[in-house]
Amino acid sequence: MKIGKYTVLSELGQGASANVYLGEDPFNDRKVAIKVAKTDIDMGEEEAKRFEKLFLNEASLAGKLNHPNIVGVFDAVVEDNERYIVMEYVPGGSLKKFCTETNLLPVRQAVLVIFKMCRALDYAFQNGVIHRDIKPANILLSDRDEIKISDFGTAKISHATHTQIDGFLGS
């Protein structure tokens, strides 16, 4: 299966409004995460427009940020029925798997994760972006114990008087 020029290798996950796939970029010969908006969601025209703004908001805001602890955005496509964002692939999954009593991060590692998150969020804020949906599922932990903040879909510009995508909030 292909999404644009990217070869899909496997499915990484599903959400309410998007599916995420592991793909390969043939130009750079690297693995990427491809977030594909679900186009079969039953919604009215106005809601569909807000959904598209939300999707583009994530690509635009996260794509402007260049920090070692923020997932990089490489490409975004919105054409006809195709809506997808191509991002840095972070093997290892999210911190959500460490949110049970039987599988907690060691304290030392948890403190390091928090420190790196704070640096990344401060960087984003200094660049005018407020994330607004920090939760374990949006913090990715690489196989080298590096963290990356993802999912800037509900972010807003800090100097704006209202959210750019009125009506959408994180979960």
Q: Is the pLDDT of residue 31 over 80?
A: yes
Average pLDDT over residues 3-11: 95
Domain boundaries, the chain: 2-157
The larger pLDDT score, comparing residue 121 to residue 163, is at 121
Predicted pLDDT of residue 162: 42
Q: Is the pLDDT of residue 163 over 50?
A: no
pTM across the whole model:
0.81
Predicted pLDDT of residue 2: 93
- Asked whether 128 and 158 are in contact (CB, 8 A), the reply is yes
Predicted pLDDT of residue 158: 58
Residue % of the chain over a pLDDT of 90: 51
The larger pLDDT score, comparing residue 57 to residue 89, is at 89
Predicted pLDDT of residue 170: 46
Predicted pLDDT of residue 168: 42
Distance separating alpha carbons of residues 146 and 15, to the nearest angstrom: 24
Q: Is the pLDDT of residue 41 over 50?
A: yes
Active site residue 25: no
For the beta carbon of residue 149, count every other beta carbon within 10 angstroms.
23
The larger pLDDT score, comparing residue 49 to residue 110, is at 110
- Kindly report the average pLDDT of the chain as a whole number: 83
Structure tokens at 143: 């196989």
Q: What would the DSSP string read from start to end of 93-152?
A: -BGGGG-STTSPPPHHHHHHHHHHHHHHHHHHHHTTEE-----GGGEEE-TTS-EEE---
Residue % of the chain over a pLDDT of 70: 84
Predicted pLDDT of residue 169: 42
Q: In degrees, to the nearest 5, what angle opens at C-alpha 70 toward C-alphas 65 and 75? A: 60
Annotated catalytic residue, options 29, 75, 122, 133: 133
Give the domain 2-157 fold: Transferase(Phosphotransferase); domain 1 (1.10.510)
Predicted pLDDT of residue 166: 45
